[in-house]
A and B are shown apart, each in its own frame.
Chain A
């Protein structure tokens, strides 16, 4: 079972929108609506941003939104702000016999 595939880096200017993709298979992303997204600033623990594909936990800005099509999930950050600069990881439930969770490879978001 390999990690979910994310672009290594995505960048945008303040106020712009960016989208991060997360590609898996029918055994994980495509087969279940159990995709989450985490934000991680350097030296800090991850923070839950989106769960069950498109749900936002209480306290997370509505500038963050999630979606899924087939085997690819996406996280969109609209109105990009300096504090959004961080690493982002997707995760999914997997029917693999060797894992419970599978994480994405991670995407570094840079605010230009």
Chain B
């Protein structure tokens, strides 16, 4: 069974940092592209970042470029999102998402809530 389990969310002050992790199991993690997608409270989905299966290709949404860094460790079946210079507008549930094919997410984690507030 495919499982994606996020962790690392919490309350952080504006300007602070947080590192999200996503533990993957039930599939060959190293064969899949992965994404982070977020959802602000009561709002819609917003794509945040993409990383190819090998980690060699990375994309970011303009809203997080220069502040967030996506990475993965295929030996540990894990995906990460390092978030720096956090702003109130980064408050959201962050989902780890497996990409089955071009811009198609077939599995999502349960999400981890990041709250940026003083």
Contact = CB atoms under 8 A, between A and B. Distances in A.
Interface of A: 3, 34, 36, 38, 45-48, 51-52, 57, 89, 91-93, 98-106
Residue among A3, A48, A89, A100 facing the most chain B CB atoms (10 A cut-off):
A100
A45 B103 contact: no
Contacts of A52: 101, 104
Interface bracket on B: 20 to 34
Nearest to A102: B47
A36 B59 contact: no
A48 B44 contact: no
A100 B108 contact: no
Main secondary structure of the interface of A (DSSP, over half): strand
B29 to A, nearest CB: 18
Interface of B: 35, 37, 44-47, 50, 59, 61-62, 95, 100-106, 108-111
A103 B46 contact: yes
B102 A93 contact: yes
Contacts of B37: 101
B102 A103 contact: no
A93 B37 CA distance: 14
A48 B105 contact: yes
A51 B47 CA distance: 17
Contacts of A101: 35, 37, 47, 50, 103
A101 B104 CA distance: 9
Contacts of B109: 45
Given A47-B108, A91-B47, A106-B45, 5 more contacts: A45-B95, A46-B108, A91-B45, A99-B61, A101-B47
